[in-house]
Structure 1
């Protein structure tokens, strides 16, 4: 039976390519004369209501996709409301002409998706690639979008990918423009967060728009390159282009096709339902395959020659461009491979190469691609490059229309590239930071970033993180092996009750990483194998040990909605099957390392061709960058590095863990207990990196807002924004320094928390003396404050007082710091708040009081007793978190930093709030346990750190003023973000 309502709505929405229009009028215009349009909103409302009750309905799904797409669209000339807001949705309803009742039903069925979108720092015009342009030519993007939906991607995820990939393509040069321009950009994602999906979407849209040569630099090993090639073949290039016109029903025609041994071929490979060129689109010719990297072209240079419909016009002319086939290759960052490619391009010659719109995608662009030669050689006029960087520069030089887009999760090496080196890969045109995807396990799932009590683990740490040592048993590697077999059994148990989970549990892996030395890998693999066979997993003792671990470490953290057995006996049958799968082939261990490609050509490690990889993987760096360790559930990690990007890339435990996120365990090196040699706390190091990256992303988001139509920062000004929360852990290995000094950061309505307090006793005494008069302004009787009216458990007591703005400035200007540059840009902002009549009247000073029976109070320099807070430095002079979330939220509300602050519901808090009032929260911090309090109840100021956090009122900054201001150190270097550092560090 024909669903007339669905058909009508589909036709009407198809006509709304440029955005929502009056539904009833458009339906009347589209409907046949013989069959009046059914525009009754009541019928539509009833269908949506029924679907919301669980009936399921294609019409509701259609509107779910449409409304979500409109909600997320960054380009929306039909609405002035920002994306992902109720206001944008209301604009859509107004244009559609929907009544209140229908709006309410649709809002219930399709809630507005309010998660943040990509952050864009750009100097590139985007006029050439509109939504209309994208819709007219969308053959490969449409196929990719449909595939993602079949794979189970939500409407919000697909719409988000659509917007993020569109944001990249619109910042490339128009492939049909007469003058050649090569844009340079960088896309920053999270480790194992779906960057490949984004650049697959970018590739689809770019070739639809007219790019005809795509070069993907896919890692430094065939292991990684092949993984990327397969992904593009499966999700973008498709069956028909792989077969090159061969009949899929003819067995002889399939001989030699890459994927005959792949269990996903052909069902899971996208099908275009015919040869694209026959369907009115264009074909894609692969110049590499799953197993073969780029080789000298077997057919000579003809494989890179493009047929022109009109020979008198250049290839980039629209009449030629949109009829030509695209070429795609996935190549390793390997000197020999890239040399062959460059040699073939040179044979073609400059005139033709200058006509080819080219897209170069550099996966893991901070690995091998960045030039790391000695800067002193450049100062001496010797242009030297590392091998891969030099070859990338040659490619960009040979292909004037080449657009370079780097992808990485650790962007610091890329943003430190010298922008004055015109042939290098500095992202001069744009930097796009992708949002954290829904369902992704990342920083917040393993680190409690707001935790201030260093002796207590937060909920994230308790659930997922374990040390590698235990006082009772020593090294916990054996426990990690037990956790691996238990988690495997739990996956089998869940799959037995929910068959839809089987695809997620196809692979089950454990990663052990202790060293980069291959000889040590062999010894470690032997040790693990011996431990496995001595574990007695079939004995009563072994089962008793597993039962104890299951009861203590998995039952308490079982996730709601994921089935978990109530007892070990219920799980026990699945333990036997898990042991068999892990021990298949006679060993539970695979070593993944080596100097040659042959060392990595292990069938048991091929996640694509092997039905089930249930193994313990032992390896080093080669198991890090770009390589997806499928099914990773347990990690045992103890390697140390002093480079943040190297350490972060080893975070393979980040990623998507559908159906088993509660089972993920990270055994990681912690500081040794007393009596053992002190070692680096790797967990602490990861947390420091996480803070650096979250700060970096947050700053990009703040400064991406346009002021007078111009960006507040350009890509060339990004390096000074890179922070460092751990003094010994450098952002990257580049020997660079900044040319742009960060002078001012305006943070109205933002919590600012300095952490670089001094360590010298004289400086600590000085700071205490500076703050001492402020303490006398505090009321003797504490008051109770809440973060909001309903959060009774989050209330706290505090002494409060007020301080004039000028008086606070005097205090802040006199303070001493271990790293003055950390707070000085914020201080500069406070000093200039009086400009333009937008100032701050006064500050509410808040001193939280502890109410615990274990609290410690002491006076300093004759003050009234103060509640002391214990905090630890993260090595060097920098503390970790200082402020507590409940204090921070109360401060934000008092300073009226948001609409929510005005409606806090707490009468005491509201009575303290003011439009021109800032808030300072004081924390008298001690680092020793127990603190050195004298018998008289006093503490020497040399033992006290007077720490604080503050919020300037939102009204303290003009709305059209830049939030950041820079000063050039070397004026002869112009706008360069960085300059070379000499050998002496000067």
Structure 2
């Protein structure tokens, strides 16, 4: 729009303040505005009116697998655009980094309640990666929620002062400073929460600002906050609040002090959303869902892995999952160096009795680690790009006196290195170390250029002179301070360095800390994160046992995230589907107190119904699936023990088809990659295991379900059924070549091969009946779907499928195992048995389209 048009539009709005709309239009025409421009002005005003109404009243659209009121930022927003400007100033590219952050934060906000709802108490969980930008994500979520009307923002920032202060500083920089008139603060950079005299000053109707409060998960602090909010109850009825729990698995779950206080704070807020953020969600996923607690009953979301992030799998590789070719699973980069078992007792006391008077030895591996750190820092100075800080982490014990015992030998080593810079023997040793390491991990693998020893040698004196030995623990006054110029530091510490706090420019880690649980182990891995400009240089020294544990943990993470993705792609919620966590013989999943409500689970399709609802719309992909389905029908005609034809119902059933006919079809049919449960390799492997271990699934019933009133589709000259209508969700996916139909298979279709009246059976009743009469028989259902599939007029949130060819949908129903399922891996999960849920009704509509 031009400035002239904008001026006329403002004139029209001013006229509306004094006259009815019709009179305002007449007066605009009297000013000489053309009818065409008047019409454009009226249309713009109508659009703005609708947009305002949408902000005032909750509404829902479908996004992914959920209804939502929030579909993304708007032009009038202030907080989110300010963050975008800051990130651009820091060198973030608009695509893909800012776009990915925008998409992921919109996903989280879309799962919150509309702030205008009279009351709500949401509980959600966001799962990120260690050191992957979770703080930036929840800051973006807060900004977008503020732009839509959320008022109070409480951030629970870990249990240490360092992380709370770091979080407060980030939020002030990214939220408050760009829009100071929009924010009030209950906490400061140095001060945790202290009660304020007048709650009305913050929550009264005259105060339109958003209120920010960043607190530690400390009982004394939270108690003060809870009491103050109780006193402010009269002002909180109309105060939509968002509680962000950073490191949500730490101190929040199964604690006698912190957990009740968080719940108490939520009870003071009639409109509140609690969202936990963590990279190690094991404890949160095992909370008793039936208790009044913080189980993420409303949503669990995976944050996407950011580009360039070093995660567990990148560094350590992982084991192949069921159905995967082990040769196709990455082994990780050659960045892990072994600490022999004999060295461990030299750097960590063997027993508690050995702590007093413990003196660590500079073993060969520790010496190599420290010297490599100096070399890597010098090489980074030659490159002159990326993070200006360089840090080494030494983590061998949780005991502070053990940390402090490293000060003298490391300082002595540093001083000796400074004196040896002209010693040819010392320089030859450094040269050999550098050549060996740069040969094992080449710079070219990461798009970098190798720095030669001769190039970095001139930088070594400056590196050694600026290097500091820091004891960062709860008993020391030393702290890693990255705010006053470039830092070169060897940091020795424990819990203060093991969670949440970012170690800037971390290049080398020396790690022998013994741990007993997944979450502790994962959070100790401070080496995860971004290594821009030096991705080829990080190294980790640890025992082989620890490396194996991390490799196992990478496998656990992959499976866990696969389960979580089901919430976004399948008709499941955290109250109907429990995420499974693979166990380990030597490690607990989390602390024993946090697992008391967990139950044993297994990786299995047993008793499940699997269906396709994502499809590609390109012709080649669809023709391949049509060919696979045609071959399946042809083979079923030849091999079935009995064939039932019900053309008037649009049904064909081929009974007792051999399993190899089904597995051949699964190998030829392409499932969409957005459906993690529909993994053909996993399904085939599961079928083979069931056959081998229990003799089950040797025979299958193959059914075709069509729409009697649809246009005819021929699988074979003798097998013809009407095409089903399955309209896509409007805006259900950002990929134009991907269609989401949400639901393919009706409840009654899971009983298509069962005799008698099954129309009144619940889904559980159908599975119980199948266990009685078809205990070892699987069911595969084919659905021919019309490529146009125009929605009925009543389906406002649907759009035509508009595929290039007709679509073949597939449903699979697996019998529950009778003799134990065919799984090797053991898992635990939350116990959902105490929940009372209404059965979802998959009613088949008259025109053949599911709701």
Q: TM-score, normalised by structure 1?
A: 0.54
Alignment of 1:743-758 (within 5 A): 743-744=606-607
Task: Decide whether the 8 Å contact of 1:121 with 1:714 is kept in 2.
Answer: no
Instruction: Determine if the alignment matches structure 1 residue 700 to structure 2 residue 564.
Output: yes
Instruction: Map 1:525-924 onto structure 2 (within 5 A).
Output: 525-535=407-417, 537-538=420-421, 539-560=423-444, 564=449, 567-582=452-467, 588-594=468-474, 599=476, 602=478, 605-607=480-482, 609-670=483-544, 681-702=545-566, 704-706=568-570, 711=571, 713-719=572-578, 721-726=580-585, 728-733=587-592, 734-738=594-598, 743-744=606-607, 810-813=691-694, 830=697, 834=701, 836=703
Q: 2:562 and 2:219 mapped to 1: Cα distance? A: 37
Is the CA contact (8 Å cut-off) linking 2:287 and 2:598 kept in structure 1? no
The equivalent residue for 1:912 is none
Aligned to 1:301: 199
Superposition RMSD on alpha carbons, in Å? Answer: 4.6
Superimposed CA distance per residue, residues 331-358 of structure 1 (whole angstroms, 9 cap, x where no aligned partner): 111111112212221222x332222111
Supply the distance in 2 between the matched residues of 1:159 and 1:696 (Cα, whole angstroms).
Answer: 25
The 3-state SS of whatever aligns with 1:183 is strand
Structure 2 residue 314 is matched with structure 1 residue 445: yes
Q: Distance in 2 between matches of 1:203 and 1:658?
A: 27
Shift in Å, 1:486 = 0.4
Q: What secondary structure is seen at the aligned counterpart in 2 of 1:236?
A: helix
Aligned counterpart, 1:466: 337
**Shift in alpha-carbon separation, 1:972–1:338, aligned structure 2, 3 A:** closer
The counterpart of 1:974, out of the listed 801, 812, 835, is 835
> Is it true that 1:428 corresponds to 2:294 in the alignment?
no
Render the CA deviation track for 1:351-387: whole Å, top value 9, x for unaligned.
Answer: 3222211110000000001124xxxxxxxxxxxxx11
The match for 1:355 among 227, 230, 238 is: 238
Cα pair 2:195 2:224 within 8 Å, conserved:
yes
Alignment of 1:383-422 (within 5 A): 386-422=256-292
Contact 2:506 2:527 in 1 (8 A): yes
Say if 1:228 and 1:966 are closer, same or farther in 2 by CA, change over 3 A. Answer: farther
Select the residue among 171, 176, 185 that pairs with 2:111. Answer: 171
SS at match of 1:476: helix
Give the SS at the match of 2:120: coil
**2:404 aligned residue (518, 522, 527):** 522
Whether 1:129 aligns to 2:70 is yes
- For the residues of structure 2 that align with 1:211 and 1:184, how far apart are their CA atoms? 16
Report if the CA contact (8 A) 2:301-2:564 is conserved. no
Does 2:343 match 1:343?
no
Distance change (3 Å), C-alpha of 1:470 and 1:487: farther
CA 1:954–1:692: 2 relative to 1, 3 Å: farther
SS at match of 1:973: coil
> Alignment partner of 2:141: what SS?
helix
Q: Give 1:469 shift.
A: 3.0
8 Å CA contact 1:717–1:740 kept in 2: the answer is no
How many residue pairs get matched? 592
Secondary structure of the residue aligned to 1:431 is strand
Q: What per-residue deviation string (whole Å, max 9, x for no partner) do you get for residues 381-417 of structure 1? A: xxxxx11111101101111211100000011101111
- Taking the aligned partners of 1:121 and 1:390, their CA distance within structure 2 comes to 32
For structure 2, which runs of at least 5 residues remain unmatched after alignment? 5-32, 35-58, 344-361, 613-659, 661-683, 706-736, 738-778, 784-807, 819-828, 838-851
What secondary structure sits across from 1:510 in the alignment? Answer: strand
Could you say if the C-alpha distance between residues 332 and 470 of structure 1 is closer, same or farther in structure 2, counting changes exceeding 3 Å? closer
Q: Matched residues in 2 for 1:225 and 1:805: separation?
A: 47
Post-superposition CA distance 1:836-862 (Å, at most 9, x none): 469xxxxxxxxxxxxxxxxxxxxxxxx
Deviation at 1:477, TM superposition (A): 0.4
Contact 2:597 2:830 in 1 (8 A): no
**1:961 and 1:439, CA in 2 relative to 1: closer, same or farther beyond 3 A?**
same
Q: Using a 3 Å threshold, how does the CA distance of structure 1 residues 665 and 807 change in structure 2: closer, same or farther? A: closer
1:853 paired residue number: none
**2:188 pairs with one of 289, 296, 309:** 289
Identify the residue that residue 148 of structure 1 maps to in structure 2. 87
Residue 456 of structure 1 and its aligned partner are, at CA, apart by: 13
2:165 equivalent to 1:226: yes
Gap regions ≥5 residues in structure 1: 9-31, 34-74, 83-119, 242-275, 277-282, 309-322, 373-385, 496-500, 583-587, 671-680, 750-777, 779-802, 815-826, 839-898, 900-951, 977-986
**Alpha-carbon spacing, 1:964–1:391, altered in 2? closer, same or farther (3 Å):** farther
1:419–1:716 CA contact under 8 A, matched in 2: yes
Give the Cα separation in 2 of the matches to 1:643 and 1:804: 30
Separation of aligned partners in 2, 1:693 and 1:805: 21
CA–CA distance in 2 between the matches of 1:805 and 1:726?
23
The aligned residue for residue 44 of structure 1 is: none
Q: Matched residue of 2:283: which SS?
A: helix
**Cα drift, residue 961 of structure 1:** 6.1
Q: Offset at 1:748?
A: 9.1
Please state whether the residue corresponding to 2:263 is helix, strand or coil.
Answer: helix
Q: Is the 8 A contact 1:741 1:966 kept in 2?
A: no
Equivalent position SS for 2:154: strand
Bigger Cα displacement from structure 2, 362-371 vs 161-170: 161-170
Deviation at 1:747, TM superposition (A): 7.6
SS at match of 2:273: strand
User: Residues 807 and 615 from structure 1, CA distance in 2 versus in 1: closer, same or farther, beyond 3 angstroms?
Assistant: closer
Q: Which residue of 2 aligns with 1:13?
A: none
- 3-state secondary structure, aligned to 1:327: strand
**Cα gap change, 1:548/1:149 in structure 2, threshold over 3 Å: closer, same or farther?**
same
Q: Is the 8 A contact 1:745 1:964 kept in 2?
A: yes
Aligned mates of 1:296, 1:965 — CA distance in 2: 57
CA deviation string 1:747-797 (max 9, x = no partner): 899xxxxxxxxxxxxxxxxxxxxxxxxxxxx9xxxxxxxxxxxxxxxxxxx
> What do the CA deviations read for 1:657-692 (whole angstroms, capped 9, x no partner)?
10001000011112xxxxxxxxxx000011111110
* Secondary structure in 2 matching 1:365: coil
Equivalent position SS for 1:329: strand
Work out whether 1:511 is the aligned partner of 2:393: yes
**In the TM superposition, what is the alpha-carbon distance from 1:227 to its structure 2 partner?**
0.6
> What is the rounded CA distance, in whole Å, between the counterparts of 2:277 and 2:252 in structure 1?
11
Q: Deviations over 1:857-907 (max 9, x none)?
A: xxxxxxxxxxxxxxxxxxxxxxxxxxxxxxxxxxxxxxxxxx9xxxxxxxx
Q: Deviations over 1:928-977 (max 9, x none)?
A: xxxxxxxxxxxxxxxxxxxxxxxx9997996456899999999982349x
